[in-house]
Amino acid sequence: MQHATIEELRGALERASYLPDEGLATALFLALRLEKPLLLEGEAGVGKTEAAKALARATGARLIRLQCYEGLDVAHAVYEWNYARQLLHIRAAQEGTVDEAELFGREFLIRRPLLEAIESELPVVLLIDEIDRADDEFEAFLLEILSDFQITIPELGTISARRRPIVILTSNRTRELHDALKRRCLFHWIGHPTLEREIEIVKLRVPDVPARLAEQAARFVERLRTIDLAKPPGVAETIDWTQALAALGQRELDAGLVESTLGSVLKYHEDFQLVRDSDLVALVAEARSGR
């Protein structure tokens, strides 16, 4: 489904339970309109992966996801020959002979996410998640796909996309990506949301949460981000934490409960200690009073 304006797309994303800010909504709109890959960078838990998933829901496209990791290769990302089937085929044809072309036909191909996305007749959002975890060589290999939307299989020839998938790449920036890759993509940095937006996100994601609890939790987390933490909490942590507090029947923050549930927000022991040793009671009071 095409959305004529940024506002329309934003509305569709909201109905898909995702609240982008103006900048992200614009970037996603342009990715659709220009059919250009979009690279989303940002810290952990700011909504990079979910942006791609929500875009698929909002446009009625199928989501195809490639999770990147060190050592990811063509056999897992693009295609692989199904040796077992090829062997069976040879055995079944024992009497006759099998020529090579027959063995390397499409029915013996195992399609991995990139090939699936290129071959799809239906609209696809292709999520290439955490590209910074893949090796340099794989990144270089992606260039052909991202610029020409085609894949070359030596035994079969070049397969071109019948319709271009919408490609969203995400990176946590554990390493810099190559300029050649960046040049082929639109780019958007997702930062932490404003307080107002984060409250809205929490309300959207934690059904039936008391409004006051959502506000106080978001305010508390926002304040935590100003402390020098090893890993500042993302929206994901705010959501998890509010969910935990709501599950405990909490309607507001209180210092004792904050201390015992802080593990949902801070995932490093040093961060936990830092916050506990700063004036937790004062921090909670601040979040409660809204100052």
Ligand X SMILES: Nc1ncnc2c1ncn2[C@@H]1O[C@H](COP(=O)(O)OP(=O)(O)OP(=O)(O)O)[C@@H](O)[C@H]1O
Residues that bind ligand X (CB under 6 A): 18-20, 42, 44-50, 170, 172, 201, 205, 235-236, 239
Specify burial of residue 210 (Cβ count, 10 A radius: 0-12, 13-18, 19+).
middle
Residue nearest to ligand X (CB): 47
The CA–CA distances, whole Å, from 143 to 99, 131, 136, 138, 256 equal: 34, 12, 11, 9, 52
Q: Which does 34 bind (CB under 5 to 8 A by kind): ligand X, Mg ion, none?
A: none
Q: Which is nearer to ligand X, 50 or 139 (CB)?
A: 50
Q: Which residues contact 118 (CB under 8 A, 6 or more apart)?
A: 145, 149, 150, 151, 159, 160, 161, 165
Q: Which is nearer to Mg ion, 49 or 216 (CB)?
A: 49
Closest contact distance (angstroms) between CB of 223 and ligand X is 19
Q: Which is nearer to ligand X, 58 or 103 (CB)?
A: 58
Q: Which residues contact 52 (CB under 8 A, 6 or more apart)?
A: 40, 63, 65, 125, 127, 129, 168, 170
For residue 177, what is the enclosing H or E element? none
Q: Which does 239 bind (CB under 5 to 8 A by kind): Mg ion, ligand X, none?
A: ligand X
Q: Which does 18 bind (CB under 5 to 8 A by kind): ligand X, Mg ion, none?
A: ligand X
Q: Which is nearer to ligand X, 151 or 199 (CB)?
A: 199
For residue 106, what is the enclosing H or E element? none
Closest contact distance (angstroms) between CB of 111 and ligand X is 25
Closest contact distance (angstroms) between CB of 91 and ligand X is 45
Interaction between residue 49 and Mg ion (CB under 5 A): yes
Q: Which is nearer to Mg ion, 52 or 287 (CB)?
A: 52
At residue 59, what is the residue type?
T
CA distance 115 to 131: 17
In the complex, the residues that contact Mg ion under the rule CB under 5 A are 49
